[in-house]
């Protein structure tokens, strides 16, 4: 099955730093979503994007739907220890009727005090 290219695979940062991660694909998506997974838990939806160029914030998180519709970006400002976890992007394909989400392989974030 198709997967999204998500980078970086892992990040080790100091508390207070800003974080950027992205997802790219060779396919065009009509929806992008960003999830966070805490250890031992299921993924939790952070942000959903529905229009190319859309920029949406959720607290310290900001995500953008790329203009080409083939990529998306997530930024976290002023990181804190509870930001630790795995961040997944997910895209919904344009021409499919199945409402299927394609997931990235995740970015593992570690925040050091």
Please report, as ranges, the residues that interact with other proteins according to CB under 8 A: 1, 3, 31, 33, 35, 40-45, 48, 88, 92, 98-101, 103-106
Q: How far is the CB of 68 from other proteins (least distance, A)?
A: 20
3-state SS, residue 30: strand
Q: How far is the CB of 56 from other proteins (least distance, A)?
A: 13
Q: Which one, 13 or 101, has the nearer CB to other proteins?
A: 101
Q: How far is the CB of 93 from other proteins (least distance, A)?
A: 11
Q: How far apart are CA 64 and CA 34, in angstroms?
A: 10
Q: Which one, 44 or 55, has the nearer CB to other proteins?
A: 44
Q: Which one, 5 or 68, has the nearer CB to other proteins?
A: 5
SS3 string, 6-62, reads: EECCEEEEECCCCEEEEEECCCCEEEEEEEEECCCCCCEEEEEECCCCCEEEECCEE
């Amino acid at each position: 099955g198709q997967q999204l290219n998500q980078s970086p695979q892992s990040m080790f940062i100091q508390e207070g730093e800003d974080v950027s991660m992205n997802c790219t694909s060779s396919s065009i998506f009509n929806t992008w979503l960003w999830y966070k997974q805490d250890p031992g838990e299921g993924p939790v939806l952070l942000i959903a994007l529905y229009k190319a160029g859309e920029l949406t914030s959720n607290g310290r998180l900001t995500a953008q739907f790329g203009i080409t519709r083939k990529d998306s970006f997530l930024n976290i400002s002023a990181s804190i220890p509870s930001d630790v976890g795995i961040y997944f992007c997910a895209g919904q394909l344009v021409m499919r009727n199945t409402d299927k989400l394609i997931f990235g392989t995740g970015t593992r974030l570690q925040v050091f005090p």
